[in-house]
A and B are shown apart, each in its own frame.
Chain A
Amino acid sequence: MNIKIQYYAQLREARGQSEEIYSTRAQTARDLYLELKQRYNFPLEVCELQIAIGDQLGDWNAPLIQDDVVTFLPPVGGG
């Protein structure tokens, strides 16, 4: 299935772009991140991140659906 992935901060820099359409067989956001981490050598572990599906915080273990918009959120630092 195709998933739209958005990247911010460290992950955007590591990937070299802010979003992409990615074809995967990963069933969950956790599996997807582990696949991407290995492929792009991402510097952050799952335990350091939050996950968003669309514009809402999501569950790492929820099943992914075709055309989901997935965002991996590095540790925040606003203010």
Chain B
Amino acid sequence: MFRLQTEAIDLNLASQALLDPSCGAMVSFEGWVRNHHEGERVLFLEYEAFEGLCVNEAQKLHQETLDRFDIKHLSCVHRVGRCEIGTLVVWVGVSSDHRKEAFDACEYFINQLKVRLPIWKKETYTDGSATWVKCLACHEHSKVH
């Protein structure tokens, strides 16, 4: 399951999709808005997404992760709109029989999300300037999106 939303992420609600009596492990990742980036003091973030394509690509990534790792369930919620410092902006949860596959699948999904899903992030700094942030991994590898 993947969802984009403007409202705060409800962790109890998000993790409902992971509940399964056959699972002995649940791993989650929380991405928060931090107050600095590459030496700049960040005031807030704004996210926007191309929802139709984003949902399609997230479904492909979801299935790809299920095929690649021995996990039972995966769920992800991503915020859009303005997000203040400390806000939970992305949550990924994975449940599986054992912990290792859940850790690996969770890391894989968030890493791929950052380079593949059509979501954009604008940072506004304390000096009033602002910039659209490129995925660092793609920038470092000069990967064309």
| Most chain B Cβ neighbours within 10 Å, of A10, A78, A79 | A78
Within 8 A of B (CB), among A37-76: 47-50, 52, 54-57, 71, 73-76
B113 interface residue per 8 A CB criterion: yes
A78 & B52 in contact (Cβ 8 Å cutoff): no
Q: How many residues of B contact A (CB 8 A)?
A: 32
A76 & B144 in contact (Cβ 8 Å cutoff): no
B121 & A77 in contact (Cβ 8 Å cutoff): yes
A36 interface residue per 8 A CB criterion: no
B interface, over-half SS:
mixed
B145 interface residue per 8 A CB criterion: yes
Contacts of A52 in B (CB 8 A): 50, 53, 118
| Most chain B Cβ neighbours within 10 Å, of A9, A10, A57, A77 | A77
> Interface digits, A1-22 against B, CB 8 Å rule (1 contact, 0 not)?
0000010111010000000000
- Listed in ascending order, the chain B residues whose CB lies under 8 Å from chain A are 31, 47-50, 52-53, 55-57, 78, 89-90, 110, 113-122, 132-135, 138-139, 144-145
